[in-house]
Amino acid sequence: MRTAVVAANWKMNKDLNEAEILVKSLIEGYSPSGTEVYIAPPFVHLYAVNKWINESGMRLAAQNMNAAESGAHTGEISSSMLKSVGASTVILGHSERRDIYSESDGLINEKVKSALAAGMQIIFCFGEQLGERKASAHFDVVKAQLSEGLSGVSADQMSEVILAYEPVWAIGTGETASPEQAQEMHAFIRDYLRNQFSDAVAERTRILYGGSVKPSNAAELFSKPDIDGGLIGGASLQADDFLAIVKAAS
């Protein structure tokens, strides 16, 4: 039995005051269950959010990191910096990093290897563009992103990897993959893990769905056998909505 995961990706939203209001509302309404809940605020709020969620049962995640350990990388953040403020989980490969900041599969793979070597847990994101789905290339695209992004990762290291399938056409658009479309892809991903690693890795790896998950569609998505929770963008910015999604996964 896999433990469900629901992760909030705040992206570039909330100033410090707004972040405090949101976290306090989350803590007020949150009753820990078996589900793992992660909050991924912007870098500058990690330290404060870590203090606020302390003892709440919620966990901290970062939205990105640099593959290098330190040095001349102006504006960048390393794994040791993240760990020093309480974030030992990091989102890598998000489609906005791939599309807006031109992160290639190769660069994402460097970050994956660096984060794992530093003892971090990863939420590894991938998913096809609308044109790729329309051209029926979505399975090939996802397979290539997994193969290149996770290149060099061992079966043992996969215990620190959570996968997040996020069809790009469903992110922030209000358009959700149907539960059947999502399940079909998640089953494909689990088969890929079985072939590439082992039955054990396929069975234990959590595969999240992301893309316009809301309180109204979360329960149906999470009821599918290969969907182990969600990565939540827009709906994570409202405490009530996010808590309703967490409840749907529990």
Distance between CA atoms of 124 and 143, rounded to whole angstroms? 13
Report whether 197 contacts 153 (CB < 8 A): no
Specify the residue, 202 or 232, whose C-beta has the smaller distance to ligand PEP.
232
Window of 56-64, 182-190, 196-204, 232-240 that interacts with ligand PEP by CB under 6 A: 232-240
Distance between CA atoms of 47 and 23, rounded to whole angstroms? 13
The b/e string for 175-194 (b: 16+ C-beta within 10 A; e otherwise) is: ebbebeebbebbeebbebbe
Specify the residue, 161 or 201, whose C-beta has the smaller distance to ligand PEP.
161
For 51, the token pair is 């203090």
Start-to-end CA distance of the chain, whole Å, equals 13
Number of Cβ atoms within 10 Å of the Cβ of 81: 17
Distance between CA atoms of 69 and 118, rounded to whole angstroms? 9
Specify the residue, 128 or 166, whose C-beta has the smaller distance to ligand PEP.
166
Report whether 246 contacts 5 (CB < 8 A): no
CB of 249 to ligand PEP, least distance (A): 14
Told to check if 172 binds ligand PEP by CB under 6 A, we report yes
Told to check if 193 binds ligand PEP by CB under 6 A, we report no
Site string for ligand PEP, 35-64 (x = CB under 6 A): ------------------------------
Choosing from 210, 228, 239, 241, the residue that interacts with ligand PEP (CB under 6 A) is 210
Residue of 94, 103, 138, 186 marked catalytic: 94
CB of 213 to ligand PEP, least distance (A): 5
Site string for ligand PEP, 148-167 (x = CB under 6 A): ------------------x-
DSSP-based three-state secondary structure for 152: coil
Run of H or E residues at 131:
helix 130-134
Catalytic-residue membership of 94: yes
Specify the residue, 42 or 233, whose C-beta has the smaller distance to ligand PEP.
233
CB of 238 to ligand PEP, least distance (A): 11
Told to check if 211 binds ligand PEP by CB under 6 A, we report yes
Total chain residues near ligand PEP (CB under 6 A)? 14
Active site members:
94, 166
